[in-house]
A = this chain, B = another copy of it.
Amino acid sequence: MSFLERLFSPDSIALIGASKDETKLGGIILRNLLQFKGRVYPVNPKYREIMGLKAYPSSADVPGKCDLVIIMRPAPEVPAILHGLQGRTRCAVIMSSGFAETGQIGLQEEVKKISAGSGIRILGPNCMGIYNPSQRLDTFFLPRERLKRPGRGNVGIVSQSGAILSCLLGAAASSRTGVSKVVGYGNAMDIDESELYEYLAEDEDTEVVVSYIESVADGRRFLEKARILSEKKALLILKAGKGESGQAAAFSHTGRLAGRYEVFHSLLRRFNISEAMDFDGLMDATKALSYQRPGRGNRVCIITNGGGSGVLAADECMSQGLEVTSLPGPSKEKLGRVFPLYYGINNPVDLTAQVKDDDYATALEELKGDYDGFLIIVLPNVMGITEGLAEKLMASRKYLSKPLVCHIAEGGITARLTRLVERTRIPVYSSPERAVRALKALLG
């Protein structure tokens, strides 16, 4: 079992800095660790028992070796703690902040030396740690009632920032996107994005990797690992610290220089690695790639019951390099026979306010062979749209294996309809443009 395999699926965990107080970070982490499948050893000299678990005065008192040690103590104590762990673990997660990111570069260097000397690999410092739902492993210092965790799924998340990690988790949970392995690696003193990419490239549970990056220490290695990963899985990168202000902010955040964004951007392009342009773009593409297999081609068919929404979608297709080509003659003729006169039998197909649920399926089935990807636009404010639409769309998944995304506008039944449609693994978006950009992610 590889070292990172062990990090994501340990048998036993010690938490140094465990607390009884559930409002303190060491208490929140311990409470989250109570769910963990394996053994948990809280370490705190003040108590003999915490949250029903036997507590240990120091790491030296923990029986046997630990696969993983989590350190949640003030930064200046960390070197001594690491010394004490020598020979007792292969891996420590240093969650504490107060290292290079606050100017304490010497302290971080000291920790790095101890790590190299002792062979203890380090995640962090200044990081969020690990979430692996298949092991019920959750090292985050965020209470679950404050941040809902996404369920099991095929998305791996690799984030330098803990804040963005929490935002990604929140967005994944609310968009019904399940995760495989999640890691916040903070200052990346030892384990970095490149090593994590290498691991996730081989991880069976992971089909999509989302990566938030502020800075990269070894650009050549990063590109190599990113390229290999993106050949095997869908890889989506959000690079922050693009301009002067962002770079300054990134430096004081993780203590590493961000480098020139233009270079980073053009290298990603050259190697055909997908880059998201903002947070919403990242999560929208992630949901699409998590729900569906990518396809090929750039011809898009738009089926809508709102004319203006179809126009906005067609505009966005153009700016994304997708083509909204005319309906082929025979299909146009056939749809003209089955649909009322006042429907717009073009691309976008305009089913108007007189739409019925069935019409979407009729159009999809007729046009399934003519396009590379499909966008369904639903304005659920008219009587003809019901929750039954989800079933009609689900049925279409049987004869249509091409990318299909959906925009459902705000309305009385939107939340319920969205839930039902997403159950069929058709991703739903709140604006026509976001839906088109997600479709673009599926069409490569």
Residues of A within 8 A of B (CB): 23, 25, 28, 97-98, 101-102, 141-143, 145-148, 159-167, 170-171, 173-174, 212, 214, 238, 240-246, 248-250, 252-254, 278-280, 302, 304-312, 314-319, 323-324, 341-342, 344, 346-348, 350, 352-353, 379-383, 409-413, 430-434
Contact partner, A246, options B142, B159, B314, Cβ 8 Å: B314
Q: Given A167-B410, A307-B163, A314 and B381 touching (CB < 8 A)? A: no
Say whether B252 contacts A142, CB under 8 Å.
Answer: no
Closest B residue by C-beta to A143: B383
Q: Given A307-B254, A309-B164, A146 and B380 touching (CB < 8 A)? A: yes
Contacts of A432 in B (CB 8 A): 279
Q: What 12 additional pairs, Cβ within 8 angstroms, besides A28-B383, A161-B307, A246-B318?
A: A145-B412, A147-B381, A160-B308, A162-B307, A163-B306, A163-B310, A163-B353, A167-B306, A167-B379, A249-B310, A249-B346, A253-B350
Say whether A431 contacts B308, CB under 8 Å.
Answer: no
Closest B residue by C-beta to A173: B410
Contact partner, A162, options B98, B302, B353, Cβ 8 Å: B353
Say whether A240 contacts B147, CB under 8 Å.
Answer: no
A443 CB to closest chain B CB (Å) equals 15
Contact partner, A253, options B147, B240, B243, B311, Cβ 8 Å: B311
> A341 vs B99: C-alpha distance in the bound complex, in angstroms?
12
Say whether B344 contacts A102, CB under 8 Å.
Answer: yes
> A126 vs B36: C-alpha distance in the bound complex, in angstroms?
60
Contacts of A346 in B (CB 8 A): 248-249, 252
A122 CB to closest chain B CB (Å) equals 19
Say whether A314 contacts B167, CB under 8 Å.
Answer: no
Q: Given A166-B306, A306-B166, A379-B166, A245 and B433 touching (CB < 8 A)? A: no
Contacts of A413 in B (CB 8 A): 146
A379 CB to closest chain B CB (Å) equals 6
Say whether B97 contacts A342, CB under 8 Å.
Answer: yes
> A97 vs B352: C-alpha distance in the bound complex, in angstroms?
10
A213 CB to closest chain B CB (Å) equals 10
Closest B residue by C-beta to A166: B381
Q: Given A162-B353, A346-B248, A381-B170, A308 and B409 touching (CB < 8 A)? A: no
